Copies of this chain bind each other. A is one copy, B any other.
Amino acid sequence: VNEVGIVGDGAWGITLSILLHENGVPLTLFGYFPERVSDLRRTRRDEERLPGTTIPEEIRITDDPLELRDKDPVLYVVPSKFLRNTIERFKAKPGAHVISAVKGIEVGTCLRMSQVLEEELKDVGIAVLSGPSIAREVIHGLPTTVVVASRDEVLAQRAQDLLHSRNFRVYRSNDVIGVELGGALKNIIALASGACDGLGLGANTKGALLTRGIAEMMKLGVALGAEPITFSGLSGVGDLITTCMSPHSRNRHVGEQLGRGRSIQEILADMVMVAEGISTTEAALTLSRRMGIDMPITEAVFHILQGELSPQEAIVRLMKREPKPEYDFKSEGS
């Protein structure tokens, strides 16, 4: 059996390590910060991110990029803004397989994470992992289903074989663009849904917001080459619902704080973890303007994050849009 490498020792990186370990897969977990790595090695715990969880001794934890050199596949589980620099540190061997579990879009380039991997690694088989998977629920064995997408069917099958288990069901897809965009864009809608929570709005508003959110994600996705049906699947509506329901979602949490009237600067000063939705909002808005797609929720979230629009006013504006037939694709720029 090949040894697998996992790059990223956050909540999801640790969770995937433990999943693979429980499936009998030998692996090495890489962390960027020597101090954190040495803590994890010593305590086998991360009480803040995964309270009560012990990382089995058999999982090797390292901060030495050389130890990742012969691993195959390598799973990338780092915040999106660190992915490019992280890849540059170890360049996987040509021919090796990589799997991205990063849910974001690169600011500036507006590239999906698999495109960043492609640019940096060339000729490497790439799969992406997405779907409704709050880390601490997976760790506690609560039934979870995810989707792995690759244009390389052998790699998709391989990723499924590695990760699939009794309570962690892995489906396959070949729509890399859709699966990746679903996982990334849903965080924008989660920010908006959290803002509804912070404003004390109810389930009716959230149901409507998520519905319009999915429609807006799908419009951009289809313009960028995704299959529309993917957004009705685990990596679209599924991940969106889970994120908006879970008290543990960071993006929903940031939105809730915004809804309570705090500024993004104040909120981020209190957080150890990254809320991917913030940078994804900026990147998605740029993409939507480039493609001529109207994304009113994304636009509203962007202006809230900029401090230019109150969440209250944003909801009023979204609700005020002219009553019309529910689906009116003719009037859209797409």
**Using an 8 Å CB-CB cutoff, how does the interface string of A139-177 with B read, 1 for contact, 0 for none?**
010111101000000000000100010110111111000
- Assess whether A214 is interfacial by the CB under 8 Å rule: yes
- Assess whether A108 is interfacial by the CB under 8 Å rule: no
Determine how close the nearest CB of chain B comes to the CB of A172; give it in whole angstroms: 5
- Assess whether A327 is interfacial by the CB under 8 Å rule: yes
**Using an 8 Å CB-CB cutoff, how does the interface string of A196-229 with B read, 1 for contact, 0 for none?**
0000011111111011001100100000000001
CB within 8 Å for A245 and B206 given contacts A170-B323, A171-B324, A319-B167: yes
Once the chains bind, are B171 and A245 in contact (CB under 8 Å)? no
Give the contacting residue for A172; candidates B142, B205, B325; CB below 8 A: B325
- Assess whether A315 is interfacial by the CB under 8 Å rule: yes
Task: Give the distance in Å from the alpha carbon of A230 to the alpha carbon of B172 in the complex.
Answer: 26
Once the chains bind, are B229 and A211 in contact (CB under 8 Å)? no
Once the chains bind, are B241 and A132 in contact (CB under 8 Å)? no
Interface size of A in residues (CB-CB distance below 8 Å): 58
On chain B, the residues within 8 Å of A143 by CB distance are 201, 204-205, 208, 315, 319
Beyond the given A143-B204, A174-B325, A206-B241, please list 18 additional residue pairs across the A-B interface where CB-CB is below 8 A: A131-B208, A134-B204, A137-B204, A140-B202, A142-B202, A142-B204, A170-B323, A171-B324, A172-B324, A203-B241, A203-B242, A206-B245, A207-B234, A208-B238, A210-B237, A210-B238, A215-B232, A241-B244
Give the contacting residue for A171; candidates B142, B147, B233, B326; CB below 8 A: B326
- Assess whether A138 is interfacial by the CB under 8 Å rule: yes
Task: Give the distance in Å from the alpha carbon of A258 to the alpha carbon of B325 in the complex.
Answer: 38
- Assess whether A239 is interfacial by the CB under 8 Å rule: yes
On chain B, the residues within 8 Å of A245 by CB distance are 203, 206-207, 245
Determine how close the nearest CB of chain B comes to the CB of A208; give it in whole angstroms: 4
Instruction: Give 6 closest A-B pairs by Cβ, nearest first.
Output: A207-B242, A132-B207, A211-B238, A203-B246, A137-B202, A144-B204
Once the chains bind, are B203 and A132 in contact (CB under 8 Å)? yes
CB within 8 Å for A208 and B144 given contacts A203-B246, A237-B214: yes
Among A215, A237, A243, residue most surrounded by chain B Cβ atoms (within 10 Å): A237
Once the chains bind, are B134 and A203 in contact (CB under 8 Å)? yes
In chain A, positions 240-265 with a C-beta closer than 8 Å to chain B are: 240-246, 248
Among A144, A208, A319, residue most surrounded by chain B Cβ atoms (within 10 Å): A208
- Assess whether A187 is interfacial by the CB under 8 Å rule: no
On chain B, the residues within 8 Å of A62 by CB distance are none
Once the chains bind, are A234 and B205 in contact (CB under 8 Å)? no
Residue in chain B with minimal CB distance to A215? B232
- Assess whether A133 is interfacial by the CB under 8 Å rule: yes
CB within 8 Å for A202 and B134 given contacts A208-B143, A214-B237, A241-B241: yes
Determine how close the nearest CB of chain B comes to the CB of A163; give it in whole angstroms: 10
On chain B, the residues within 8 Å of A140 by CB distance are 202
Once the chains bind, are A132 and B233 in contact (CB under 8 Å)? no
On chain B, the residues within 8 Å of A240 by CB distance are 207
